[in-house]
């Protein structure tokens, strides 16, 4: 293990007891009831393929069926049911001593914890998965280890440990750029896109907006190259990039990104569509395109009323008031 990665790793787990306590008694980690929030996660992107799990088990196996039901519950945002069934799947895997299955289930648990912002729990579980994989002789340059390291860096960011998060992202991006040269597969591109997006968002929080915008744009372009990308995630990226452009005074650029986000969001009937219209209206307002601004904010107001979303409705009304003051 290189000195840079060792330093990054020891910031998470300074003793093997952390690993043993979770592996031997997962029930000691309690799920806190944190509501789902809108975050730029790509959590459906797991270790399933890279672990070779699909090659080791058949679709008829009871364990596979249990895990598939867990994933379905997560996709439906039924997190409590997913949590309970994951414990069942873990016991099944332990009873048949299926080490690969155990590793994969811990990975699903970790991703679920991150999605629910149960950060300490997510950190511990990602440590478990990483140690299980590296315990079999896997190198730190392996895509599976890089995948987990990116998510550990994200956990640091969300916990506001910006120094460790930056160290982790720098190391991961350096390795991933090299990996992309020899392995330009969709899995590598998706992982690199995720790392760039998350590192870009870290830069925004430490007032490095120009650097953050560059990485977020790189991530967006890579995501668009993938044969199968999550449209909802793409919408979030577009809207957030537009917001950063607006913050940096690049108003024309922000309008382009907001409009693209809105067009995609329309087909998905996303709840955040009203907010995007407000963002677009404010950008038009800055460029003195008052008619376009009024139209966008008026559409936002309608969506806020229909959805009974007082926040969007009030923001739209404020935007319209600002427009009227300029007439």
pLDDT score, position 5: 54
pLDDT score, position 235: 95
pLDDT digits (tens, 9 = 90+) for 26-39: 332 222 222 233 34
Distances (CA, A) of 201 to 166, 204, 224: 11, 5, 19
Distances (CA, A) of 242 to 177, 192, 252: 26, 21, 9
pLDDT score, position 31: 28
- Full DSSP string of 108-122: HHHHHHHHTT-HHHH
Could you give the CA distance from residue 201 to residue 160 in angstroms, rounded to a whole number? 12
Neighbours of 50 (CB within 10 A): 15
CA 63 centroid distance within chain:
27
Could you give the CA distance from residue 175 to residue 189 in angstroms, rounded to a whole number? 13
The predicted model gives 204-222 an average pLDDT of 97
Q: Is the per-residue pLDDT at 257 higher than 50?
A: yes
Tell me the domain boundaries of the chain.
1-190, 230-327
Hey, what are 126's tokens?
């990602």
**100 with 92: CB under 8 angstroms?**
no
Could you give the CA distance from residue 148 to residue 152 in angstroms, rounded to a whole number? 6
CATH superfamily label, 230-327: Tetratricopeptide repeat domain (1.25.40.10)
Give the closest residue to 189 by CA, choosing from 218, 167, 222.
Answer: 222
SS3 state at 177:
helix
Could you give the CA distance from residue 279 to residue 244 in angstroms, rounded to a whole number? 11
Query: What's this model's pTM, rounded to 2 decimal places?
Result: 0.81
For 37, residues 6+ apart whose C-beta sits below 8 A from its C-beta are 117
The predicted model gives 207-231 an average pLDDT of 93
181 burial level (CB within 10 Å; 0-12, 13-18, 19+): exposed
pLDDT score, position 45: 52
pLDDT digits (tens, 9 = 90+) for 90-143: 999 998 888 888 999 999 999 999 999 999 999 999 999 999 999 888 888 899
**Residue whose structure tokens are 């569509």:** 273
Give the closest residue to 285 by CA, choosing from 239, 244, 324, 236.
Answer: 324
pLDDT score, position 13: 45
CATH superfamily label, 1-190: Tetratricopeptide repeat domain (1.25.40.10)
Give the closest residue to 262 by CA, choosing from 246, 277, 283.
Answer: 277
pLDDT digits (tens, 9 = 90+) for 195-204: 999 999 999 9
* Fold matches, 1-190 and 230-327: yes
Could you give the CA distance from residue 289 to residue 291 in angstroms, rounded to a whole number? 6
């Amino acid at each position: 293990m290189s000195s840079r990665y060792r330093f990054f790793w020891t910031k998470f787990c300074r003793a093997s007891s952390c690993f043993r306590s979770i592996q031997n008694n997962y029930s000691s980690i309690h799920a806190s009831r944190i509501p789902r929030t809108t975050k730029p996660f790509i959590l459906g992107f797991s270790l399933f393929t890279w672990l070779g799990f699909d090659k080791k088990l058949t679709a008829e196996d009871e364990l596979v069926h249990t895990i598939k039901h867990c994933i379905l519950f997560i996709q439906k945002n039924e997190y409590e049911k997913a949590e309970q069934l994951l414990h069942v799947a873990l016991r099944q895997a332990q009873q048949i001593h299926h080490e690969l299955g155990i590793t994969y289930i811990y990975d699903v648990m970790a991703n679920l914890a991150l999605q629910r912002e149960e950060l300490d729990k997510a950190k511990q579980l990602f440590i478990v998965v990483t140690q299980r994989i590296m315990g079999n002789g896997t190198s730190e340059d392996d895509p599976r280890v890089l995948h987990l390291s990116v998510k550990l860096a994200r956990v640091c960011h969300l916990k506001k440990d910006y120094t460790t998060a930056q160290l982790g992202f720098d190391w991961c991006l350096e390795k991933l750029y090299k990996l992309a040269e020899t392995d330009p597969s969709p899995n590598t591109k998706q992982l690199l896109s995720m790392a760039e997006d998350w590192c870009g968002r870290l830069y925004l929080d430490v007032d490095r907006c120009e650097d953050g915008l560059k990485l977020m744009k790189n991530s967006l372009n890579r995501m668009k190259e993938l044969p199968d990308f999550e449209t909802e995630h793409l919408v979030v990226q577009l809207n957030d990039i537009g917001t950063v452009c607006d913050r940096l005074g690049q108003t024309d650029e922000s309008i382009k990104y907001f409009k693209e986000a809105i067009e995609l969001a329309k087909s998905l009937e996303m709840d955040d569509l009203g907010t995007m219209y407000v963002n677009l209206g404010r950008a038009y307002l800055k460029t003195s395109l008052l008619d376009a601004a009024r139209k966008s904010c008026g559409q936002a107001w309608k969506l806020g009323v229909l959805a009974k979303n007082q926040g969007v409705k009030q923001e739209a009304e404020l935007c319209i008031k600002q427009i009227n003051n300029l007439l």
